[in-house]
Chains A and B, each alone.
Chain A
């Protein structure tokens, strides 16, 4: 137990939490926008995978991490555009179409990687670009005592925090953001006051795709420097859970993603302490289910309280 506490209260652990939370925060923010727009994006997982793969391959090909990032972002966003087109124009079921895209991402990325490298498991033989860490921009930062390792994060980790604030601003302080939430709340009412529902839902899905794509690029070009088969490992789905645990608010979602990140970081650290890794790996998934139940119960009580108030008022 003491060993565990030592682990949890170390700076290395804090740094690890930030590192592993990033690919949860970004897609969770994306998922939040889609959820508030009433078109929850289940394809986050696949979008991340496609962006991760495209980022690595393009950065290898062009020898530029920046172009890799752009390619990942572009392809991830394109994938969500396909989802939006199938759902909003071709009336496809949102969830089934997203499942199809996740399948496409899982098979398609390996198909392409196999063509390029002749290896089906990963691109580790290629030298991928990597997004810069803070150390690469401000070289002295890593030498700072204690906080150095914590501050020396990938710029996409910093982007995740900045984007949380940006998403909150967008959703609550801008016209399209408010319209987007109105559409998610009640599309008929939104339509009746002249809001273009389909356009807002396109926007919601595209933004969610772009954010998930950033998360994917971080995984393959920040967290590590290669693409591996199904490397997202369910993060796109844990991100969905973070939306509900975070009470559908950007700040809450950020905290929820950090909690899941902490659970994952703990699993990694405990794995070093000869605890069976399989059991430790269960922690984040079990935490997700518990969070889902707690959120659902809280939500029900909120509704019940509102109903009581309504009856008293009447």
Chain B
């Protein structure tokens, strides 16, 4: 940065190149820090397993090769990644504006529930059978995100508390509707009827004739959502205002940006994408609703977004990575009698270390001191 200010004759093109180069370097440092963080966390898990008297080599072989040991497991990995990438994208939008919306879990549940109401009871022709429930789910997710968004934007109500409370409410409502309305009379298990055949997203197992588990055409949603969120954040005025607010909210306000509207809409847009993940879980993976439908996926989406530093093009990578660990974690439990929660602990350590800004800043500071001497 120093060297761009130094020349007396201002060379626009050189300055542009310098800024881009600096940004590239910064991204590389972020990447390096993230990768070494993951390494450190995995190493700590390794040591922990060893200290607990289990064989860490067996455990880690299962963890690191698990998803590739059988085609069905690979399918499970990709199916899980589809979900995680979608929620991760949803979470990243509000996070980008430095709004800690933790509503992904509830938005997924609500999306799945609303999609189910349409997909089970309304017979629709092919294609529309998928499109309509997905659209309805996204609309509900949008509204569910908008509510805490408006509360934060206009009343400065703590979004962490409000989104968590909404999660709890949505989950209870889901249980209520499922138990009292969707469960068929006389059924012993608490689950809904299956969705209409036209509402099912075909799995690749059906399409290709090889066992890829429940990995399904919902992967198209991922492609659309990644591109959509990237365009939204990086190539539209709305995305620019989101990023401005994330960088410095007060500055954005003094600059004339309607921060209230942007914040509320960022929450809502994230809610729509998270609800899409819920719809995928219903239409592509399970085909019907049951209790504890979403499990922990909404929470894992937060990790995925953080790992990717809320960048939409990196979210798919972090989603694939984290899903890989989760599937491997299940293998660890079977092979080494170490709880699959090991992965959750590793996840927590990764997030904790990534939040520690110091390391990246320190490298950056060293570099910026070093650069002038190279050029000077």
Residues of A in contact with B (beta carbons under 8 Å apart): 42, 86, 89-93, 95-97, 99-101, 103-104, 106-108, 110-111, 114-115, 120, 234, 237-238, 240-241, 244, 276, 278-279, 281-282, 285-286, 288-289, 292-293, 295-297, 299-300
Can you offer 17 A-B residue contacts whose CB atoms are under 8 A?
A86-B356, A90-B356, A95-B160, A103-B351, A104-B345, A108-B341, A108-B345, A111-B344, A114-B339, A234-B164, A276-B176, A279-B176, A286-B169, A289-B165, A289-B166, A292-B158, A300-B155
Taking a contact as CB atoms closer than 8 A, the residue among A42, A100, A276 that contacts B348 in the complex is A100
Cross-chain pair count, CB within 8 angstroms: 137
Residue ID in chain B nearest A280 by CB atoms: B172
Alpha-carbon gap, A42 to B156, bound state (A): 17
Interface residue B361 (Cβ < 8 Å from any Cβ of A): yes
Residues of B with C-beta under 8 A to A300: 155-156
Residues of B with C-beta under 8 A to A238: 165
Residues of B with C-beta under 8 A to A107: 341-345, 347-348
Residues of B with C-beta under 8 A to A120: 339, 341
Would you list which residues of chain B between 291 and 309 have a CB under 8 Å from chain A?
299, 302-303, 306
Alpha-carbon gap, A104 to B44, bound state (A): 13
The answer to whether B157 and A293 have CB atoms under 8 Å apart is yes
Interface residue B52 (Cβ < 8 Å from any Cβ of A): yes
Taking a contact as CB atoms closer than 8 A, the residue among B165, B339, B349, B355 that contacts A237 in the complex is B165
Interface residue B254 (Cβ < 8 Å from any Cβ of A): no
Alpha-carbon gap, A90 to B33, bound state (A): 14
Question: In the complex, given contacts A100-B351, A108-B341, what are 14 additional A-B residue pairs having Cβ atoms less than 8 angstroms apart?
Answer: A95-B100, A97-B356, A99-B302, A100-B348, A103-B348, A104-B344, A107-B345, A110-B344, A111-B339, A120-B341, A237-B165, A240-B158, A296-B156, A300-B156
Residues of B with C-beta under 8 A to A237: 160-161, 164-165
Residues of A with C-beta under 8 A to B370: none
The answer to whether B162 and A289 have CB atoms under 8 Å apart is yes
The answer to whether B345 and A241 have CB atoms under 8 Å apart is no
A104-B160 contact in complex given A96-B306, A282-B173, A296-B155, C-beta closer than 8 Å: no
Alpha-carbon gap, A110 to B303, bound state (A): 19
Residues of A with C-beta under 8 A to B342: 107, 111
The answer to whether B175 and A278 have CB atoms under 8 Å apart is yes
The answer to whether A292 and B161 have CB atoms under 8 Å apart is yes
The answer to whether A293 and B155 have CB atoms under 8 Å apart is yes
Would you list which residues of chain B between 318 and 376 have a CB under 8 Å from chain A?
338-339, 341-345, 347-349, 351-352, 355-358, 361
Alpha-carbon gap, A104 to B357, bound state (A): 19
The answer to whether A285 and B348 have CB atoms under 8 Å apart is no
Alpha-carbon gap, A237 to B357, bound state (A): 26
Q: Mark B264-308, 1 if CB is under 8 A from A, else 0.
A: 000000000000000000000000000000000001001100100
The answer to whether A292 and B151 have CB atoms under 8 Å apart is yes
Alpha-carbon gap, A80 to B40, bound state (A): 22
Dominant secondary structure at the A interface:
helix
A91-B357 contact in complex given A279-B172, A285-B165, C-beta closer than 8 Å: yes
Residues of B with C-beta under 8 A to A90: 356-358
Taking a contact as CB atoms closer than 8 A, the residue among B52, B162, B348, B356 that contacts A292 in the complex is B162
Nearest Cβ in chain B — how far from A49, in angstroms? 12
Residues of A with C-beta under 8 A to B168: 234, 282, 285
Residues of B in contact with A (beta carbons under 8 Å apart): 52, 100, 102, 151, 155-158, 160-162, 164-166, 168-169, 172-173, 175-176, 179-180, 299, 302-303, 306, 338-339, 341-345, 347-349, 351-352, 355-358, 361
The answer to whether B161 and A97 have CB atoms under 8 Å apart is no
Nearest Cβ in chain A — how far from B174, in angstroms? 8
Residues of A with C-beta under 8 A to B306: 96
Alpha-carbon gap, A244 to B347, bound state (A): 31
Nearest Cβ in chain A — how far from B301, in angstroms? 12
Taking a contact as CB atoms closer than 8 A, the residue among A93, A106, A115, A293 that contacts B344 in the complex is A106
The answer to whether A288 and B176 have CB atoms under 8 Å apart is no
Alpha-carbon gap, A42 to B302, bound state (A): 15
4 cross-chain pairs, A with B, having the tightest CB-CB distances, nearest first: A107-B344, A104-B348, A296-B155, A92-B355
Residues of B with C-beta under 8 A to A297: 155
Taking a contact as CB atoms closer than 8 A, the residue among A96, A293, A295 that contacts B355 in the complex is A96
Residue ID in chain B nearest A90 by CB atoms: B356
A110-B158 contact in complex given A96-B351, A100-B351, A285-B165, C-beta closer than 8 Å: no
Nearest Cβ in chain B — how far from A263, in angstroms? 12
A104-B164 contact in complex given A111-B342, A292-B151, A296-B156, C-beta closer than 8 Å: no
Alpha-carbon gap, A97 to B355, bound state (A): 6
Alpha-carbon gap, A111 to B348, bound state (A): 13
Nearest Cβ in chain B — how far from A103, in angstroms? 4
A111-B341 contact in complex given A90-B357, A100-B355, A103-B303, C-beta closer than 8 Å: yes
Residue ID in chain B nearest A40 by CB atoms: B158
Alpha-carbon gap, A106 to B180, bound state (A): 30
Residues of A with C-beta under 8 A to B361: 91
Alpha-carbon gap, A234 to B165, bound state (A): 8
Residues of B with C-beta under 8 A to A114: 339, 341
Alpha-carbon gap, A278 to B160, bound state (A): 22
Residues of B with C-beta under 8 A to A288: 161, 165
